[in-house]
Structure formats: C-alpha cells, structure tokens
Structure 1
Amino acid sequence: MTTFDDRENAYENKFAHDAELQFKADARCNKMLGQWAAGLLGKTGPEADAYVREVVTSDFEEAGHEDVYRKLSGDLGDKADEQTIRAKMAECMAEARRQVVDEAE
C-alpha cells in the first residue's frame, strides 16, 4: 500500500468513527429529552419509558432535529415554549456528546 492509500483508509475510518459517535450522541440526547418531557407531562414508570421510545423514534422521520422538536412541542403544548424546548435540546446534546466521548476514551 502507498502512503496515499494509508491516508485514505485513515480518513475513511475516522469518518465512520465520527458518524458512529454522532449517532450515539443523537440517540442519547433524544432519550434525555424524552425523560425530561415525560416528567413535564406527569408520566412515570412504563408510561414514561414508552414515551421516551416515541421521542427517540421520532428522530427517524427526517434528517436533523426538527422532527424531535415538533414532537416535543406538540406534546408539551403550553408546558414549554419554543425557547425552553430548544434550550433543553442544546443542553441535552452537549451532555450526550460529553458522555459519548468520555465512554469512547
């Protein structure tokens, strides 16, 4: 193999690794958001667990996080405004990334 091939393989491996970490962070963030929203909605136990799964799967509707925002916004109604939901989304994403990176090390 040439140096160019080695470099290409390294970039491909890094891209795959980064994509895997991002997927894990997204899923963890959505789980945290679901737990937060379930608490606001007064859901506990199995009902809360089911709601968390709904939030996590809502992220598969389209690329990006707007599908999760729409799910939360629709479900929470007047319990949380847009600014509160988006701030919580940012907070959960930062925490999820930190946790995933810590686990990867």
Structure 2
Amino acid sequence: MTTFDEREQAFERRFVHEEDRRFQERTRRNRLLARWAGERMALDPDAASRFTDAFVGETVPLDDEAVLARLVVDLAAAGADEPVSVLRREMQRCAGLARAESRVGLALDQGSSA
C-alpha cells in the first residue's frame, strides 16, 4: 500500500467518524428538544417518553427548519404555543449541550433553561 492510499483511507475513516458524530449529536439534540417540548406540553412521564421517541425517530432525516416546523405543530396541538424565536434559541441550547456531551462522553442535561 502506498502512502497516498494510506492517507486516502485515513481521510475516509475520519469522514465516516465525523459524520457519525454529527448524526449522534443531532439525534441527541432532537431528544433534548423533544423533552423540553414535552415539559411545555405538560405531558405525563409515559406520554413524554412516547412523544420523545416518536419525535426523534421522525425528525432524524429532517433539516433544522423542518424540525422547527414539526415542533411548532406539536406544541400548538397541545395548546403550548411558543414563538419560533424561543424554539430556535432552545434548539441552539440543545445543540450546544449535545456537542458538549459528545466531547466529554456524558449526559449533561439538567433540564430546560426556561
């Protein structure tokens, strides 16, 4: 194997690793966001767990705007309307928390900020 081939494989491994990390962080962000939304909707623990699982499973392939749109609909259906600016801020908070958790390898969530 040539040095070029080794470098190419190293880049491919790094790409796969980074994509996996991004996917894990995005999934964790959506889970944290769903838990926050469940609190706003005043769901009981079982309903909150079901909502969180469904939300995460359905939002994995969506971009951020589609995730926010889904959140707006879910919150409105539960009578817990929140401005999109609040949802964006919470999404950013959850994303930061997910990135930090990824770096340290621990779940750092201590509840919502609001």
Once residues 46 and 86 of structure 2 are traced to their aligned partners in structure 1, the CA distance between those partners, rounded to angstroms, is 26
Deviations 1:7-55 (A, max 9, x none): 1011000000001111110110000000000000000211000110122
Structure 1 runs (4+) deviating above 2 angstroms are none
1:51 and 2:51 matched: yes
1:66 and 2:68 matched: no
Higher helix share: 1
How many equivalent pairs are there? Answer: 103
Specify the SS of the correspondent of 2:105. Answer: helix
For structure 1, which runs of at least 5 residues remain unmatched after alignment?
none
In the alignment, residue 30 of structure 1 is paired with which amino acid?
N
1:84 and 2:86 matched: yes
TM-score (norm 2): 0.83
For structure 2, which runs of at least 5 residues remain unmatched after alignment?
107-114
- What corresponds to 1:95 in structure 2? 97
Once residues 17 and 60 of structure 1 are traced to their aligned partners in structure 2, the CA distance between those partners, rounded to angstroms, is 18
TM-score (norm 1): 0.90
Percent of matched pairs sharing the same residue: 28
